[in-house]
Amino acid sequence: MIRAPAPPSDRGSASVELAVVAPAVLALIAALFIGGRVNLARQSIEAAAFDAARAASLARDASTAQSQATGAATSTLDAQGLSCSSLTVTINTQGFSVPVGEPATVTATLTCHATFTDIALPGMPGSAPLTASFTSPLDQYRSRG
């Protein structure tokens, strides 16, 4: 009696499949984590721009507006847990020269190089440049200096 050859064994194929698929799955998880962290940083810088513009619009004059806006932006970024290697707060204070009774606005623009030193993942960028801008109205009937 002649016997047919035994079918090939599948032993060990699961280990090979895992070795091939695992790096791709880990890379996908890392990419999602990085994207989420950058998105949170972007939301933080937008909140800081909103607070800076609002603080500047409550100031009585243009010089006070700049210092109050910078303080508000720094405070908000600290509260959000976002650290910037460099933070630039630019306030467009031309609205303070508009006569009382006419609509005017103040615009705050923030540029931050957000650092992600709290995350240690391979392939994670060390920093990301982020920019946000927000415009806030000045009180139409309040004196402006």
**Per-residue model confidence as pLDDT tens digits over 6-19:** 666 666 677 888 88
Per the structure block, which two tokens stand in for 15?
A: 């280990």
Can you read off the two tokens belonging to residue 18? Answer: 């895992």
Q: What is the DSSP letter of 62?
A: H
Mean pLDDT of the chain: 86
How many CB atoms are located within 10 Å of the residue 60 CB?
13
C-beta of residue 133 within 8 angstroms of C-beta of residue 108:
yes
Most distant CA atoms of the chain, gap in Å: 110
pTM of the model: 0.78
**Cα Rg for the chain, rounded, in angstroms?**
27
Length, in residues, of the chain: 145
Q: Name the residue ranges covered by the structural domains of the chain.
A: 16-137
Structure-model confidence comparison of residues 122 and 51, the more confident one: 51
Q: Is 4 exposed, middle or buried (0-12, 13-18, 19+ CB in 10 A)?
A: exposed
Return d(Cα 110, Cα 106) in angstroms, integer.
13
Mean pLDDT of 106-112: 96
